[in-house]
Amino acid sequence: MNENILSHHIIAAVIEAHRNLGGPGLLERIYEEALVWELSQAGIPVEQQKYLPIKYKNQTLATPLRIDLLVGGLVIVECKAVNFYNEVFTAQALTYLRLSGLKLALVINFGERMVKDGIHRIVNRL
């Protein structure tokens, strides 16, 4: 599965999790766990709270990068549950993509009444 196909499956799982949990108002971690469950039920490999090493001038830094989810080994998913989306979330996801060498991240704000309005697709050379 490529990044684009994976993203469609992820978005479907996001909508299902948000709908079944009753919309906004919960902690980020709850939405994240529900999303992991949905993806796992669909047979999509997902790693939660994944640590990725950071290379700096040919050295691996002691502090790794921690991402919320790595789906299918290709797509970074960052879960948020906030009232207002901050553009720093986009910058953070783009930095994660650059440092990891991956091409696609989805930042999901489960704090939106309609979660489809909280889906942000960030691309790095896709």
Determine the CATH number of domain 3-123.
3.40.1350
- Domain assignments of the chain as residue spans, ordered by start: 3-123
- One-letter amino acid at 87 equals E
pLDDT, one tens digit per residue, over 82-119 is: 999 999 999 999 999 999 999 999 999 999 999 999 99
Residue 51 φ then ψ, to 5°: -95, 130
2 pLDDT above the threshold of 90:
yes
Position 125 confidence tier, pLDDT thresholds 50, 70, 90: confident
**DSSP label at residue 126:** -
Is pLDDT above 90 for 37?
yes
**69: its two tokens:** 């989810």
* CA–CA gap between residue 45 and residue 5 (Å, rounded): 13
How far CA 105 is from CA of 43, 59, 68, in Å, comes to: 20, 25, 11
